[in-house]
Amino acid sequence: MEAEDPTSTPGVAADEFPHGWVRLGRYRWFTGWLAYSGVGVLMLPYVIFQLGSAVARASGFPSGLIAVPLVVVVLAALATVILKWLVPQPWANFDTSEFRTGRRVVPMSELDWAKVEYLPARSNRTNGMLLRFGSPRLRAVFSLRSARGQTIDEDLARHLAEVIERSSIEVPKSSYDPTGKFARYNFPGSVGKADAITLLLNPEEIDRMFLVLLR
């Protein structure tokens, strides 16, 4: 019987993972916008609009009806480029237990936080969920389930589960709550290693996990 790597996901042999750098999913142009909390993402368009209006007025454009939308579009495109630079495509190297986004490379053991964000559905669509995780130096975001009900690819989920298994992810604790009893209130959306892996490998648990996080 082939031995398993004790640092790997239970039930999965270490040599079942690809060698060298493996791309984790495929980031799109808007992925950077999903890497930060909903409040921040909602505030950024408002800030862009206000800034665009101010720039248009200060530049002396003859028609505000044309200038404001034009400046807003330019600023939104610039923000998208910046977010894409801040949150580039993630890669994993299972041979060396390293995680990379862009040029930033960290040991998987340096990944120390994970959060989920539940995305309420509109009309008859399915509730979605995002998983974010990272370290002090980088972050990554993946869709566990989209508004169309599409769940994460099985191979990608297995690779991410292995990354998290080798990480140091845990739910934060505050000095006034050393046992972490009220962690879900102090750090909303934060999940530990086991819960993150469960959500990745069992996407049907998303709705149940959401109720657990709210209790």
User: Does any domain span residue 141?
Assistant: yes
112: nearest Cα among 158, 171, 60 = 171
DSSP string over 115-163: EEEEEPPPTTPPPEEEEEEEETTEEEEEEEE-TT-PBPPHHHHHHHHHH
Are 79 and 124 within one domain? no
Residue pair 93/24 in contact (Cβ under 8 Å)? The answer is: no
User: What pLDDT sits at residue 58?
Assistant: 63
Are 105 and 143 within one domain? yes
CA distance 133 to 7: 19
Are 167 and 185 within one domain? yes
Q: What is the pTM of this model?
A: 0.73
* Successive 10-residue mean pLDDT values, the chain, 215 residues: 48 71 85 61 58 60 57 68 78 97 95 87 71 93 86 94 96 82 80 93 80 61
User: What pLDDT sits at residue 45?
Assistant: 60
User: Does any domain span residue 32?
Assistant: no
DSSP character at residue 175: T
User: What pLDDT sits at residue 194?
Assistant: 93
Number of domains, the chain: 2
191: nearest Cα among 114, 132, 133, 77 = 114
User: Does any domain span residue 46?
Assistant: yes
Domain enclosing residue 67, as ranges: 38-86
User: Does any domain span residue 7?
Assistant: no
